[in-house]
Amino acid sequence: MAPIQNARVLFNSVPKGYPIPGETTLYDTTQTIDLDTVPLNGGFLVKTLMLSVDPYFRGKMRSSEKKSYTAGFEIGSPLDGFGVGVVLRSETHKVQVGNYIYGPTMLHQEYTVFPELGLMQVIEKHANLPWSAYLGPAGMPGQTAYVGWREYSNAKAGEVVFVTSGAGGVGAMVIQLAKQAGLKVIASAGSEDKVKFMQSIGADVAFNYKTTDTRAVLEKEGPIDIFWDNVGGATLDAAFEFAAFNGRFLECGSISGYNTGEEAIKNFHLIIGKCLHVHGILVLPLLPKYYADFYANIPAKLASGEIKYAEEITKGLDKVGDVILAVQKGTNKAKAVVVVAEEAE
């Protein structure tokens, strides 16, 4: 076979604010690949089908000297993140041609040679779910909600939970886990469409934080026993103020400050005065404990409709930069997935 295009999305520069498509990231079509002859060196060749675009990408868009819990993107190299692909060739017994792989190190390019599985895994899809679900509720976002809730919420029927970014891939799962546990759910998001979605999945009190005073809602509907935080900033301060004694704070994200700088917390002292329990949540350290239980239950519940989800699918690798910006600004309508190629192509 003659060489074909192997388009990719490169990390081009560290953004000072919001990531700018065409500047922070570049869609590049100069690379080619011969699918029949590219050396595998004991690894396997994967065709990328779908990519997840997630809020944590902004934290990886940093200068190389800044350290964090996850490796940053490298200038001049493709982005990486959670994705699904199909194996075209293999020189390892661990991966067979036709297998589907999923995991956090899928490069944002059309074809990739993996030297080994590493953090990727061979995965089988539930017959009644699309692959895109495995980048949302049946994948990392759903797992984050599931393991964090199981490990740290200590939820009891009748308690009150406040969930921010409640229409997102993580927040929507938390709302439904909380309702199944018999809690009253307060949830916020940044548009009326997202408010309607949160109501449709069971939120008792759903509001648009851009048009409604968060503090007024919490004062009326609280105190809150559990706070699932995806946004940080002023909302976190409000949650401290209206938290119940011995409340649990599950800190999953702080997207309000990812692009504009983190806001100083004014009510930090209330952690002491209210004996609050604050837990940071990362999915990968907790996942081994809950992995089998998650896959034994969640995909089937998603397929049956017992657990609902929403997704916003964008077609084309060249749209990745635009989708990243939408996720950072919160203008995406649901969990963001980019389709790179159809299986039959």
- Tell me what pLDDT residue 281 has: 97
Average predicted confidence (pLDDT) for the chain: 96
For the stretch 33-40, contacts whose Cβ atoms lie closer than 8 Å and that sit 24 or more positions apart, written own/partner, are: 33/3, 33/4, 33/6, 33/110, 33/111, 34/1, 34/2, 34/3, 34/4, 35/1, 35/4, 35/88, 35/89, 35/111, 36/1, 37/1, 38/113, 39/113, 40/89, 40/90, 40/91, 40/113
Tell how strand 335-339 and strand 8-11 pair up: unpaired
CA distance 155 to 158: 9
Residue range 51-86, pLDDT digits in tens = 999 999 999 999 988 888 889 999 999 999 999 999
Helix (H) or strand (E) holding 175: helix 169-180
Model pLDDT, residue 70 = 87
Whether the per-residue pLDDT at 42 is higher than 60: the answer is: yes
Strands 205-208 and 184-189: parallel
User: 245-259 burial string, b = 16+ CB within 10 Å, else e?
Assistant: eebbbbbbbbbbebb
pLDDT at 69: 85
Q: What is the pLDDT of residue 27?
A: 98
pLDDT tens, 263-275? 888 999 999 999 9
Record the tokens describing residue 111, joined without a space.
């074809």
**Dihedral Cα 216, 213, 152, 131, nearest 10 deg:** 140
Q: Residue written as tokens 């997202």?
A: 194
pLDDT tens-digit map of 208-224: 999 999 999 999 999 99
pLDDT above 80 (res 343): no
- 126-180 per-position pLDDT tens digit: 999 999 999 999 999 999 999 999 999 999 999 999 999 999 999 999 999 999 9
The answer on pLDDT for 344 being more than 70 is: no
Q: Is 90 exceeded by the pLDDT of residue 261?
A: no
Neighbours of 167 (CB within 10 A): 29
pLDDT at position 338 over 90: yes
Q: Is residue 227 within 8 Å of 243, Cβ to Cβ?
A: yes
Using only C-alpha atoms, what is the Rg of the chain?
21
* Helix, strand, coil percent values for the chain (each to nearest 5): 30, 25, 45
204 three-state secondary structure: coil
In angstroms, the CA 89 to CA 133 distance is 25
**pTM > 0.85: yes or no:** yes
pLDDT of residue 264: 84
Token pair listed for 211? 């048009």
Give me the mean pLDDT over the 11-29 stretch: 97
